A and B are shown apart, each in its own frame.
Chain A
Amino acid sequence: MAGRSALLVENVSKNFGGLIAVDAMTFEIEEHQVLGLIGPNGSGKTTMMNLVSGALKLNSGRIRLFGGDISGLAANRIARHGVARTFQLVRMLPSMTARENVFAGGVFGHRRLWGRDLEENAEAMLEKVGLGGAGSTPVSAMTYIDQKRLELARALVSDPKLLLLDEWLAGLNPSELRIGIDLINSLREEGRTIIVVEHVMDAIRSLCDRCVVMNSGAKIAEGTPQEVLADEEVIRAYLGDEHA
C-alpha cells in the first residue's frame, strides 16, 4: 500500500550538552502505514518522538510532514498541522471529567471542533476506545488502562494526520495488552498513519508494517519486523555480543 510520504525525517540530530541523544537519523513513513520505532532503553526513541512533536527543538536536519517543513516549529503549531501524540507516562487533566479530557484534544487541534461537533466527535472517540458511557467520570477515579484509553481518545479526536504513540502499551497486564493491541490494530485498519515506540515484541510483530531500530541515538536497521528482529546488529544491541 504505497502512499504519499507522511513524515520524512532527514539527518536529524539532537544533543544535550555533550550527549548526542539522536545522531543523524533518517527515516520515512508513508501514509496509512504503522511504523515501529524500537531499540534498547536509552537509545533515543522518545527523544526522536519529542523532536517530531515539537516538544524538543532539533539541532540540525529537517523534518517534513506531508511535504511541509515542520522542523523547529513550536509544539502547538505542529499539533495544528495534524500531529497528535500520547505520552510515555500517561498525562491526564486531573480536574476535568473524561469527556472534557477528550474535548481538550479536539478544540485546538487541526480540526478545531466546538459545540455540537465537538460533543459528537468526543462521544464517538470514547466509544471507540471502549469508554462509551464513561464521559462524566472524573479521571482521578479511572484505572490505569482506562486513562491510557482516554489519552488515546484525546489524541484521536483531532483526527490527526500522524499519530505518535509513545509506549502506549507499557504497564498493561496480559489481558489488557490483548485489548490494547486490538485497539491499535483497529486504528491501523482505518488507515491511520502511526508511529509507535514499543518494547512489547508481540505488538511490534502484529502491528508494524515497518520498523526502524535505534541504538545510541543512531539508526542501526530498518525493514519489516521479521527482517529487523533477525538482524545481527539488532540482536547484539539488545542482548550483547555473545548472542549475535
Chain B
Amino acid sequence: MTGAEVRNFVIAIVLFALAALIPLTGSGYWLSIGVSIATFMVLSTSWALFSGPTHYISLATGAFYGIGMYVVGLGIEILPYPVLLLIAAVLGAVLAALVGLATLRLSGVYFVIFTLGLAELIRQLVNWGQTTQGSSSGLYVLTDISEPMIYWQLLGLGAIVYLLGWWINRSRLGFALRIIGNDEVVAVHSGINTASAKIILFVVSGTVATVTGALLAPRLSYIESSIAFSPMLSFLVVIMALLGGAHRLWGPIIGVVPFMLVWDLVTAKFPNQTTLVLGICFLLIVYAIPHGLAGLVEKYRARARGAF
C-alpha cells in the first residue's frame, strides 16, 4: 500500500468509528437520519461500483431492494434472520446474473429502460402472487431487531462494500471496467471479456442492494409492494451517486450526506414538493457539476497544487 492509501484507510476507519457512535447519543432523530444515510451510502456506493466506470445507468436498485424485503417478510416466521440474509444475497446475485446475461449486450438507453421495467415487473408479480394466494396485500415483519442494530448492520455492510470497491479498483477487473467505459471496442480487442466483467460487477451491486432491503425490512414492520419496489428509491440512488461523483469510491457518500439532510427537511416541511426537488437536483447536477462533488474537490485540489 502507498502512503496515500494508508492515510485514506485511517481516515475511513475513524469516520466509521465516529458514525458507529451515533446510536449512543440516544437521539431518535439522528438515529433515523443515520439509518437513511447508511442505507443510501451502501446503495449509492455499490451502484457506482458498476455504473461509475461503465456508464451503464441502472434503475434496478428498487427491484433488488424489494426482493430483499420480501425474502425477510415471507420468511421471518419460519427461518432464522441470518439465514434469510443469506437467501436474499443468493437470490439477488442469481437475479442480477440473469438480468446481466439478458441485457448487458444492450446499449445505453435500452438498458436503462429494461432495469426500470424490471422493478415494476417484479412488483406486479408479487402483487399477483399475493392476490392469488388470497392473503392481504402486505406482510407483517415483527422482530426484536432494534433500530440501532439495523444501523450497525448497515455500517458493516457499508464497510464490506468499501473494501470490495477498493480491491476491485486496484485489480485487473477494475481496470477492465474503466476501459469498457471508455471504449468497448478497444476493450474487446485488448482481450477483455466485456460481458463477464460487466456481469460480475452488476452481480456485486445487485447482491448488495438485495441485502440492504433485507436489513431494512424489520424497520418497516409492515411491507407493501408499492413501498418495497418503489421506483423513487432507484432514482434517489442514482441522483445521490451522481451528486457525489460516481467515478470515485468516496464520491457517492459525499453526495448522500448533504442530500439526505436536505431531503429529510423537504419531506417533513414540503411533502408535496419532493418530486420537484428531485428534478431540480438532477438538472443542477447535469448542468453544473457533471463530475459531482468529488469532481469539484479534485478540480480545486489540482488548482491549489498548481498555484504553489
Residues of B within 8 A of A74 (CB): 188, 193
Interface residue A109 (Cβ < 8 Å from any Cβ of B): yes
Residues of B within 8 A of A104 (CB): 175, 179, 186-187, 190
Interface residue B191 (Cβ < 8 Å from any Cβ of A): yes
- Interface bits A113-140 vs B (CB < 8 Å: 1, else 0): 0100000000000000000000000000
- Interface bits B191-231 vs A (CB < 8 Å: 1, else 0): 11110000000000000000000000000000000000000
| Given A91-B183, A114-B172: A76 and B191 interface contact (C-beta under 8 Å) | yes
With beta carbons under 8 angstroms apart, the residue of A79, A92, A94 that contacts B188 is A79
Residues of B within 8 A of A95 (CB): 178, 181-182
Interface residue A108 (Cβ < 8 Å from any Cβ of B): yes
- Interface bits A140-159 vs B (CB < 8 Å: 1, else 0): 00000000000000100010
In Å, the complex CA distance between A105 and B179 comes to: 10
Interface residue B185 (Cβ < 8 Å from any Cβ of A): yes
**Residue ID in chain B nearest A139 by CB atoms:** B182
Interface residue B176 (Cβ < 8 Å from any Cβ of A): yes
Residues of B within 8 A of A54 (CB): 188-189
| Given A76-B193, A107-B175, A108-B172: A93 and B188 interface contact (C-beta under 8 Å) | no
Residues of B within 8 A of A210 (CB): none
Q: Does B191 lie within 8 Å of A96, measured CB to CB?
A: no
| Given A107-B172, A114-B172: A79 and B182 interface contact (C-beta under 8 Å) | no
Number of chain A interface residues as a range:
20 to 34
**Residue ID in chain A nearest B175 by CB atoms:** A107
With beta carbons under 8 angstroms apart, the residue of B182, B189, B192 that contacts A85 is B189
Main SS class of interface, A: loop
Residues of A within 8 A of B189 (CB): 53-55, 75-76, 79, 84-85
Q: Does A105 lie within 8 Å of B190, measured CB to CB?
A: yes
With beta carbons under 8 angstroms apart, the residue of A91, A103, A110, A158 that contacts B186 is A91
Number of chain B interface residues as a range:
10 to 19
CB distance from A237 to the nearest CB of B (A): 30
CB distance from A5 to the nearest CB of B (A): 23
**Residue ID in chain A nearest B53 by CB atoms:** A95
Q: Does A76 lie within 8 Å of B172, measured CB to CB?
A: no
Q: Does B191 lie within 8 Å of A79, measured CB to CB?
A: yes
**Residue ID in chain B nearest A83 by CB atoms:** B189
- With most chain A CB atoms within 10 A of its CB, the pick from B186, B188, B191 is B191
Residues of A within 8 A of B187 (CB): 76, 104
With beta carbons under 8 angstroms apart, the residue of A55, A107, A154 that contacts B185 is A55
In Å, the complex CA distance between A63 and B189 comes to: 17
In Å, the complex CA distance between A95 and B176 comes to: 13
Which residues of chain B from 157 to 184 have a CB within 8 Å of any chain A CB? 172, 175-176, 178-179, 181-183
Apart from A93-B183, A154-B190, 20 more pairs, CB < 8 Å: A55-B189, A74-B188, A75-B188, A76-B188, A76-B189, A76-B191, A76-B193, A79-B189, A79-B191, A93-B178, A93-B182, A94-B182, A103-B175, A104-B190, A105-B190, A107-B172, A107-B175, A108-B176, A108-B192, A158-B190
A–B Cβ pairs within 8 angstroms, 9 of them: A76-B188, A76-B192, A76-B193, A79-B189, A87-B185, A93-B183, A96-B178, A107-B176, A108-B172
Query: A residues touching B (Cβ–Cβ < 8 Å)?
Result: 53-55, 74-76, 79-80, 84-85, 87, 91-96, 103-105, 107-110, 114, 154, 158
Query: B residues touching A (Cβ–Cβ < 8 Å)?
Result: 172, 175-176, 178-179, 181-183, 185-194
